[in-house]
Amino acid sequence: MKRLKSTIAYDGTNFEGYQIQPNGRTVQGELQSALNQLHKGSKVKVYASGRTDAGVHAAGQVIHFDTNLHIPPEKWPYAMHTKLPADIRILSVEEVPSSFHARFSVVQKEYRYKVWIGERQDVFQRHYTYFYPFKLNIASMEVAKQYLIGTHDFTSFCSSKTEIEDKVRTIYELDIYEEENVLVFRVVGNGFLYNMVRIIVGTLLDVGRGKINANNLTTILKEGNREQAGKTAPAHGLYLWNVVYNDN
């Protein structure tokens, strides 16, 4: 038995999220179905770096699974693609030690959030960017983002459904830049709470519109009150972009 690590991409539009559910189409469900077919009906469990919600996309999700099939790593994408739907692609596969775990070995993650800021929505971007046709003060957003970089208790920036007690996380980088009509938020950290990136984006957009003062971010962080931060930006603008491990 050997352990394989795979980097995958998927279009989250038609999924109910990553994690397998009794009802609804999921990324994990499709992956395990494909692997079960390749293993002639034997059950194969797939582990991921983390769950993504319905509508969230991935450009660099990482999974691992154990197999006894004698398929060279470079041939696995071809084998998997014969069984997978077109909205999931296998980008790479490599053999790793049995101590590797897609979730527990993570060192840092990068998410990107895309906001369409053109006056008119592009019909072809409606599932991949958040349409937000409002004038934004980017300079204020740049000031506000600096308060979020570093190690903080992000209670104000996570869903009330979050069950994890320790809400301290570290953000290493937070960049805001424009690509044509798309404003991109790039966030790199050691881990993220439920809806954390989407709430950060929603808050910074409120700063850009003048609804929240940029210098109030310190107070919002300290008070730990979800209601003081901005709204949760929609899922379809979010991408899990990259996952880093010690072996990287």
Q: Which residues are annotated as a binding site?
A: 111
Return the bridge partners of 95, or none: 4
> Which residues contribute to the annotated binding site for substrate?
111
Query: What span, in angstroms and rounded, lies between the C-alpha atoms of 206 and 72?
Result: 50
| 170 CB-side CA count, 13 A | 5
Alpha helices in 179-245 (DSSP H): 196-208, 217-223
The angle formed by the CA atoms of residues 112, 117 and 122, to the nearest 5 degrees, is 95
One-letter identity of residue 95: E
Q: 11, 53, 153, 206: which is the annotated catalytic residue?
A: 53
In this structure, what token pair is assigned to residue 152? 């903080």
In this structure, what token pair is assigned to residue 192? 């993220």
Let me know if 53 is a catalytic residue. yes
Could you tell me the end-to-end alpha-carbon distance of the chain, in angstroms, rounded to an integer? 24
**Helix, strand and coil in the chain, % to nearest 5:** 30, 30, 40
Say whether 142 sits in a helix, a strand or coil.
helix
Active site residues per annotation:
53
